[in-house]
Amino acid sequence: MTSHSTTPARQGVGEPAALVLEDGRIHRGQAFGATGTTLGEAVFTTGMSGYQETLTDPSYCRQIVVTTAPQIGNTGWNDEDGESLLDGEVGGGRIWVAGLVIRDLSRRASNQRSTRTLEEEMVTQGIVGIAGIDTRAVVRHIRERGAMKAGIFSGADLSDDETMLAAVRAQESMAGASLSDEVTTSEPYVVEPEGETRFSVAALDLGIKSNTPRMLAARGVRVHVIPAGSTLQDVLDLDVDGVFLSNGPGDPATADAAVHLTKEVLGQGIPFFGICFGNQILGRALGLDTYKMRFGHRGTNIPVIEKATGSVAITSQNHGFALRAPENDTWETPWGTATVTHVCANDGTVEGVALTDGSAFSVQYHPEAAAGPRDAADLFDRFVSLLASSDTGSADSRKGSN
């Protein structure tokens, strides 16, 4: 699945554009942002705010995002809320979505932190968008038919229906797509803790959001962000107290290297915490399969039940794949008994797994939010408590044993 953006220039209000879906449905609207062609998987997000964080989330790589919020662009674009790196700096963030589909583009940006409009940033980064369509109809269609291949065409690339549909259908499917190497950092970097350093962790960057290291740093954790292709020796050389696996795009069934690393980490007894894609990787390491969901969970209002307590958290999520639920809530692994810890209140999807001895756990949602509710922020505190209770002095012995 490949995105092809062309002319990074605004063609004027009312310039025609088309959203073409794999099953032949076509929605006509107006171009905004860059013009040209972009291809990706059509998905929708139910978040009513936080579009800048959504657009810069690497988990949306190669996806055309349809917003359920009726008006987008109200608060413009700023240099603080980006969730990915752009030219080595966080700033406004690199936009990872393949394209953006909205109903109404706000006529003005009104926010004290805004430095430019959403459309200006999309033009700068070459992101193709379409506005003026019935997004309610598009979302309902995706809910009924499932996420599917799609394309936005505008400017000189707007052609006859059959030509555009053929281009959409010819692209790679998201099922089987390996995207971690596309979004990961090229070089390791460190996010220093706020105040005294209490612990250090290695964070495998499968598409990490900028707020995740900040949440750990706020708890006194030095975060070594490392590329997706890192090995166990790379981790041991850092002499860290724990390992974190981030969110990220693509099909978890292709992430064999990350699964292998996770198994090695579990074998070393290193404290482990994973989120989103990292939850799927831990689940695979523990013996579970994954599957592609009909239309996934994307938004900031997904209710999750913690099975041990019955408590419900409203969570931020962005995933189109999930762990297949085991026959029983607990099962045996080479590292001890594992269990399903969280489920989605809407559809029963597995939302968390863990080893029952507490040494490794993960959740399917985004406790760092950005954007979204902070109900699950305490999971970072749980990870820090796990680091504190573990024998961190064994790090040197682990390093020396390899």
d(CA 113, CA 92): 11
160 with 185, same domain: the answer is no
pLDDT at 85 over 80: no
205 with 137, same domain: the answer is no
Asked whether residue 1 is domain-assigned, the answer is: no
Asked whether residue 175 is domain-assigned, the answer is: no
Please indicate if the annotation marks 321 as binding a ligand: yes
d(CA 234, CA 237): 5
Provide the CATH number for the domain around residue 340.
3.40.50.880
Token pair in block for residue 349: 């999807």
Could you tell me where the beta strands, DSSP code E, fall in 1-138?
16-21, 26-33, 37-45, 63-67, 71-72, 99-101, 104-105, 128-131
- Distances 92 to 77, 80, 89, 309, 318 between C-alpha atoms, Å: 7, 6, 9, 39, 20
Show Cβ contacts of residue 310 under 8 Å, excluding neighbours closer than 6 positions.
none
> Other C-beta atoms within 10 Å of 39: how many?
25
Half-sphere exposure of 54 (CA within 13 A, CB side): 31
Provide the CATH number for the domain around residue 76.
3.50.30.20
Of 85 and 189, the structure prediction assigns the larger pLDDT to: 189
Cβ atoms of 306 and 341 within 8 Å: the answer is yes
**Tens-digit pLDDT profile for residues 358-400:** 999 999 999 998 888 888 899 999 999 999 998 544 444 444 4
66 with 34, same domain: the answer is yes
At 1 the pLDDT is 46
121 with 214, same domain: the answer is no
Asked whether residue 355 is domain-assigned, the answer is: yes
Phi and psi at residue 119, in whole multiples of 5°? -65, -40
Band (pLDDT 50/70/90 cuts) for residue 211 is very high
d(CA 254, CA 177): 7
Asked whether residue 11 is domain-assigned, the answer is: no
pLDDT at 96 over 60: yes
Pairing of strands 148-154, 37-45: antiparallel
Please indicate if the annotation marks 283 as binding a ligand: no
Catalytic residue check, 182: no
**Max CA-CA distance within the chain?**
66
Show Cβ contacts of residue 92 under 8 Å, excluding neighbours closer than 6 positions.
52, 56, 77, 78, 79, 81, 82, 86, 115, 121
216 with 277, same domain: the answer is yes
Please indicate if the annotation marks 318 as binding a ligand: yes
161 with 185, same domain: the answer is no
In three-state secondary structure terms, 181 is helix
pLDDT at 128 over 60: yes
Catalytic residue check, 276: yes
At 42 the pLDDT is 98
319 with 186, same domain: the answer is yes
d(CA 46, CA 255): 28
Q: Which of 40-49, 82-91, 193-202 has the lowest mean pLDDT?
A: 82-91
Of 113 and 4, the structure prediction assigns the larger pLDDT to: 113
Q: How many domains does the chain have?
A: 2
231 with 134, same domain: the answer is no
Token pair in block for residue 152: 């936005």
Cβ atoms of 222 and 193 within 8 Å: the answer is yes
d(CA 237, CA 360): 21
Asked whether residue 286 is domain-assigned, the answer is: yes
Please indicate if the annotation marks 320 as binding a ligand: yes
At 14 the pLDDT is 63
Q: Any idea of the CA torsion for 52, 58, 59, 63, to the nearest 10 degrees? A: 80
317 with 372, same domain: the answer is yes
Catalytic residue check, 366: yes
Domain boundary among the residues 125, 149, 170 is at 170
Cβ atoms of 41 and 150 within 8 Å: the answer is yes
Cβ atoms of 325 and 291 within 8 Å: the answer is no
The stretches of 85-160 forming alpha helices (DSSP H) are 118-125, 135-145
Band (pLDDT 50/70/90 cuts) for residue 10 is very low
Asked whether residue 56 is domain-assigned, the answer is: yes
Asked whether residue 379 is domain-assigned, the answer is: yes
230 with 340, same domain: the answer is yes
Domain boundary among the residues 135, 170, 205 is at 170
- Distances 42 to 21, 66, 160, 293 between C-alpha atoms, Å: 8, 7, 20, 13
63 with 185, same domain: the answer is no
109 with 153, same domain: the answer is yes
Q: What percent of the chain has pLDDT over 90?
A: 87
Place of tokens 């999750």: 304
Please indicate if the annotation marks 278 as binding a ligand: no
At 87 the pLDDT is 57
Half-sphere exposure of 359 (CA within 13 A, CB side): 18
**Tens-digit pLDDT profile for residues 137-180:** 999 999 999 999 999 999 999 999 999 999 999 999 999 999 99
d(CA 163, CA 158): 9
Please indicate if the annotation marks 248 as binding a ligand: yes
Domain boundary among the residues 146, 170, 194 is at 170
Query: Active site residue: 264, 276, 297, 319, which one?
Result: 276
Domain range for 144:
16-170
Asked whether residue 8 is domain-assigned, the answer is: no
